């Protein structure tokens, strides 16, 4: 733990804050866990901007609210160092490099995505992405599944999702069952967490009512950003339901390609939304989708200062969160199965999937390297095989 409080409380210029987060947003490959590890090294060990205990507190706070956890940790740190200005600059500078890069890749994809060379790269990447999702599912489930009740709720969530129940309802049922069980035992009155669900339902209603593509795109991603708990991979369930099944703006193939791009680019996995926005409505769509998916994270971090301490003290609230998290993992498992059937289509993709699974599960290789190697294999096979 840091023993230099004077250094921790020292003033940081906005330009320095922007520079550090731009650097992290450009170099942070490997998903949320890798991002958080890099932030810990940068802000706790190297720069001593915050203490180890403060950093862990920010991680815990980010896990209690919807949205991309590593991005919310960045927003929290910016807020700690420079208040509202730091909150905006820290979050934006972490997001912008990845969003710009993903927009450029989306532009190339829409023009050259049907060329054999590009198809070959994506052909190899897709089964590797499924392996990375399975690894994340395995790792997260070991922490999330705490008892028999949570296990049963997870199984029920898988069944509900398999029968086509919308992700929002699956998460609501999981949270209510888990929190309700504790409430009946303790008779503790539930905290005021209902506004989160009402906010999400309101956004869902608005997204259905508005016919304009750009506004509907923004509201769809705003709703998703306000509802996704747990890993960024849970985002896939919401994306598939919203854009493949409901709006029919994407195909299964395009969704997998969007996920692949989110994997091999630095920064938040949620920039998958940027790619989808570009496919739907070009550069304005990419901009609208990016703002929509990340805006709830900024708002919730800003508003959570007083609410989170109360939630941490509430057994009911923590139990409800446990249910929501296991429901999120159930959604993730169902989507992994659905997308896996589209990605693993022959012996080569099966070999790539198995090899990628072994590498990420057994040897903990950074997912960006796994994606890169799988893409090279796919390109070689399709070009010279």
Instruction: Kindly indicate the confidence band of residue 70, based on its pLDDT and cuts at 50, 70 and 90.
Output: confident
- Per-residue pLDDT at 162 exceeds 50: yes
Close Cβ partners of 144 (under 8 Å, ≥ 6 residues apart): 150, 230, 322, 325, 326, 329
pLDDT of residue 220: 92
Close Cβ partners of 302 (under 8 Å, ≥ 6 residues apart): 79, 84, 87
Pair 329, 321: CB distance under 8 Å? no
**SS3 of residue 365 by DSSP:** coil
Place of tokens 């193939």: 253
Which run of H or E residues covers position 67? none
- Per-residue pLDDT at 6 exceeds 90: no
pLDDT of residue 3: 41
pLDDT of residue 84: 92
Q: What is the pLDDT of residues 241-292, one digit of tens each?
A: 899 988 889 998 899 888 888 877 888 889 999 999 999 999 999 999 999 9
- Per-residue pLDDT at 158 exceeds 90: yes
The domain limits of the chain are 5-93, 94-384
- Per-residue pLDDT at 38 exceeds 70: yes
Q: Identify the top-confidence range among 63-72, 251-260, 269-278, 327-336.
A: 269-278
Inter-axis angle of helices 315-343 and 252-264, nearest 10? 110
Place of tokens 């290789």: 365
pLDDT of residue 116: 65
- Per-residue pLDDT at 30 exceeds 70: no
DSSP 8-state secondary structure symbol assigned to residue 234: G
Helices (H), the chain: 5-8, 14-27, 32-39, 52-63, 69-112, 116-144, 148-162, 167-186, 194-209, 213-227, 235-239, 252-264, 272-313, 315-343, 347-362, 367-384
- Per-residue pLDDT at 197 exceeds 70: no
Close Cβ partners of 310 (under 8 Å, ≥ 6 residues apart): 191, 317
Q: Identify the top-confidence range among 80-84, 115-119, 182-186.
A: 80-84
Close Cβ partners of 308 (under 8 Å, ≥ 6 residues apart): 61, 64, 65
What average pLDDT score do residues 206-234 get? 74
Backbone Cα Rg of the chain:
20
| Count of Cβ atoms closer than 10 Å to residue 18 Cβ | 17
Pair 259, 275: CB distance under 8 Å? no
Q: What is the pLDDT of residues 74-98, one digit of tens each?
A: 999 999 899 999 999 999 999 999 9
- Per-residue pLDDT at 182 exceeds 80: yes
Instruction: Kindly indicate the confidence band of residue 68, based on its pLDDT and cuts at 50, 70 and 90.
Output: confident
Q: How far is CA 1 from the centre of its chain?
A: 29
Q: Which residue has the higher pLDDT, 126 or 154?
A: 154
pLDDT of residue 212: 52
Query: Tokens representing 383?
Result: 């070009």
Q: Which residue has the higher pLDDT, 102 or 61?
A: 102
First to last CA, the chain: 54
Whether the pTM exceeds 0.85: the reply is no
């Amino acid at each position: 733990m840091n023993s230099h409080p004077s250094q921790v409380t020292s003033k940081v210029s906005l330009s320095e804050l922007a520079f550090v987060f731009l650097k992290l947003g450009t170099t942070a490959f490997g998903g949320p866990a890798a991002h958080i590890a890099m932030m810990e090294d940068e802000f706790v060990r190297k720069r001593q901007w915050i203490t180890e205990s403060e950093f862990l507190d920010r991680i815990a706070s980010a896990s209690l609210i919807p949205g991309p956890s590593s991005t919310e940790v960045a927003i929290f740190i910016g807020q700690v160092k420079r208040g509202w200005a730091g909150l905006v600059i820290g979050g934006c500078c972490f997001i912008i490099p990845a969003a710009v890069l993903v927009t450029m890749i989306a532009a190339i994809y829409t023009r050259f995505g049907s060329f054999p060379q590009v198809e070959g790269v994506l052909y190899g990447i897709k089964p590797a992405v499924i392996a990375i999702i399975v690894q994340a599912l395995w790792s997260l489930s070991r922490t999330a599944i705490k008892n028999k009740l949570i296990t049963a709720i997870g199984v029920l969530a898988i069944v509900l999702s398999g029968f086509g129940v919308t992700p929002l309802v699956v998460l609501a049922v999981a949270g209510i069952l888990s929190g309700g069980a504790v409430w009946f035992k303790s008779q503790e009155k539930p905290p005021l967490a209902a506004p989160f669900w009402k906010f999400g339902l309101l956004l869902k209603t608005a997204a259905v009512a508005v016919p304009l593509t750009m506004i509907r795109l923004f509201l769809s991603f705003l709703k998703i950003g306000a509802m996704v708990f747990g890993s960024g991979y849970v985002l896939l369930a919401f994306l598939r339901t919203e854009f493949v099944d409901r709006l029919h703006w994407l195909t299964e193939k395009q969704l997998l390609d969007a996920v692949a791009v989110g994997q091999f680019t630095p920064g938040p996995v949620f920039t998958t939304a940027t790619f989808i926005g570009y496919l739907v409505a070009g550069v304005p769509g990419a901009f609208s989708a990016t703002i929509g998916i990340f805006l709830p994270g900024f708002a919730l971090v800003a508003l959570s200062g007083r609410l989170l301490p109360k939630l941490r003290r509430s057994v009911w609230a923590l139990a409800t969160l446990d249910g929501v998290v296991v429901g999120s993992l159930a959604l993730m498992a169902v989507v992994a199965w659905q997308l896996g059937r589209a990605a693993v289509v022959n012996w080569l993709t099966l070999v790539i999937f198995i090899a990628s699974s072994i590498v990420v599960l057994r040897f903990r290789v950074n997912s960006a390297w796994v994606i890169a190697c799988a893409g090279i294999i796919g390109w070689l096979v399709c070009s010279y095989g």
